Homo-oligomer: A and B are copies of this chain.
Amino acid sequence: MRVLGIDPGLTRCGLGVVEGMVGRPLTLIDVNVVRTSAQLPVAQRLVTIEKGIDAWLDEHQPDAVAVERVFARSDVSTVMGTAQASGIALVCAARRGLPVALHTPSEVKAAVSGNGRADKAQVGAMVARILRLDAPPKPADAADALALAITHIWRGGAQARIDAALAAAGRRTS
């Protein structure tokens, strides 16, 4: 399974593609950050982000897209731009009919590090370890996008096992 993780942001939008499945080593396919200038109008910045995501969907043909869930309680000065960028990410995936999942920052931190309150450095270090990289991906937005993709593969796998177990239990009791 190939997953595109997107860490939405207006100034830096992280994109990371990871391939693999639960219980097997995961592989980094590509990672990048779409940057837009704060000097430009928001509408134009969002178009740049849309083009960047569309280009990556074309190039990497992921099976699913994982986007960070944005909360209103986040930093107020940037949260509106982050929410707008996340809307673009969701639309880019959904209009191609790709499955889209939202994962919270805590879920991602817990998935890659075992600690829902891990800091940026810990997440970067774990992403590097999981993907067998020489160093944590930079900037943090790139590492976060990869962490989202890893989380999606691992949670998807766990969810599939839970569903299978429930289905098997259902068959036994019925």
Contacts and interface: CB of A to CB of B under 8 A. Distances in A.
Contacts of A72: 72, 76, 79-80
A88 B88 CA distance: 6
Point out which of A46, A71, A95, A100 has the most chain B C-beta atoms below 10 A from its C-beta: A46
Task: Count this chain's copies in the assembly.
Answer: 2
Contacts of A41: 94, 100
A106 interface: no
Contacts of A94: 41, 43-44, 46-47
A42 B90 contact: yes
Interface residues of A, number: 27
A91 B54 CA distance: 13
A153 B65 CA distance: 40
Contact of A91 (B43, B71, B73, B76): B43
A97 to B, nearest CB: 10
A43 B90 contact: yes
Interface string A86-129: 11101101110000101000000000000000000000000000
Interface of A: 41-44, 46-47, 50, 70-73, 76, 79-80, 83-88, 90-91, 93-95, 100, 102
Given A47-B95, A50-B91, 4 more contacts: A43-B100, A46-B94, A70-B80, A84-B90
4 closest residue pairs by CB, A with B: A84-B87, A83-B83, A43-B94, A43-B90
